């Protein structure tokens, strides 16, 4: 569903295309509070980064691939046939991909573990960050191999063994989101062009509980802003039934 339509579904057609956005269900919010993050949770976070962070760096050529697109890349029988469904990578320098361990081609929301693949197109390296040891090693290697075919370049796969590790069975998606933001902002967007950037995360500490609270706070703030804009609309209190002409 196009972005404008998703905005309208939640906040009403009176919002402009640049209005605050929200594309989450009640189940998604419940998962974000207590459980394993859904595709929608991670897609929302990527969209937030794209609209709140990336616009401040106009020269950046970075793609945050949605979980659904990573799933398509992983499951398509013919990689070349899905090229038109993926973003144009021609001038892209880096690509973030949330990797899921689902092997069911019929269920994009299946699987039980998330990890993060960061591909440096300019360096031809795929960095894999897995908060549960090497649980997604096979899936990440497959994802890098398939993306390599789409890009038409070889990619050297590098498992980041110093990735922060989760302490339970449900925080993997949260780790993906926080690692993505940290790598995007601290390692890529604010990097000095004259210095070699380390992609190690050995000293990074992730507070998963605090991260969930922060993400929920962002969502609530956007929801309130959407309600404020909706209430300010001249059509907010009008009847949904069109007037009858006698």
Catalytic residue among 28, 39, 101, 130: 130
Q: Does residue 209 carry a catalytic annotation?
A: no
Instruction: Say which residues have a Cβ less than 8 Å from residue 207's Cβ, sequence separation at least 6.
Output: none
Strands 125-129 and 94-100: unpaired
Catalytic residue among 94, 101, 143, 172: 172
Question: Kindly report the CA angle at 225 between 219 and 226, in degrees rounded to 5?
Answer: 90
The C-alpha atoms of residue 189 and residue 214 are separated, in whole angstroms, by: 22
Catalytic residue among 94, 113, 143, 171: 113
The C-alpha atoms of residue 51 and residue 226 are separated, in whole angstroms, by: 15
For 137-164, give one letter per residue: b (16+ CB within 10 A) or e: eebbbebbebbbeebeeebebebbeebb
**Cβ atoms of 76 and 150 closer than 8 Å:** no
The residue written with tokens 């019929």 in the block is 106
DSSP one-letter code for 167? S
The C-alpha atoms of residue 155 and residue 97 are separated, in whole angstroms, by: 14
Q: Does residue 113 carry a catalytic annotation?
A: yes
DSSP E strands in 92-204: the ranges are 94-100, 114-120, 125-129, 156-159
Q: Does residue 130 carry a catalytic annotation?
A: yes
The C-alpha atoms of residue 243 and residue 246 are separated, in whole angstroms, by: 10
Residues annotated catalytic, as ranges: 113, 130, 172
């Amino acid at each position: 569903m196009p972005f404008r339509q998703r905005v309208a579904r939640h906040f009403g057609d009176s919002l402009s295309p640049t209005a605050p956005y929200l594309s989450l269900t009640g189940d998604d919010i419940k998962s974000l509070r207590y459980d394993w993050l859904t595709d929608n949770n991670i897609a929302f976070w990527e969209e937030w980064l794209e609209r709140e962070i990336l616009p401040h760096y106009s020269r950046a050529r970075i793609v945050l691939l949605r979980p659904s697109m990573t799933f398509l890349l992983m499951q398509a029988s013919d990689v070349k046939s899905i090229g038109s469904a993926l973003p144009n990578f021609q001038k892209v320098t880096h690509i973030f991909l949330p990797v899921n361990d689902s092997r069911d081609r019929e269920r994009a929301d299946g699987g039980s573990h998330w990890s993060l693949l960061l591909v440096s197109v300019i360096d031809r390296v795929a960095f894999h960050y897995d908060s549960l040891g090497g649980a997604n090693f096979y899936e990440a290697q497959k994802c890098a191999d398939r993306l390599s075919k789409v890009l038409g370049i070889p990619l050297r796969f590098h498992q980041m063994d110093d990735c922060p590790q989760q302490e339970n069975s449900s925080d993997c998606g949260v780790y993906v989101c926080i690692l993505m933001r940290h790598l995007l902002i601290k390692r890529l967007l604010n990097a000095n062009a004259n210095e070699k950037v380390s992609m190690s995360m050995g000293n990074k500490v992730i507070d998963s509980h605090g991260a969930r609270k922060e993400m929920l706070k962002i969502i609530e703030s956007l929801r309130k802003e959407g309600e404020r804009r909706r209430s300010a609309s001249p059509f907010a209190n009008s009847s949904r039934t069109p007037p009858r002409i006698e």
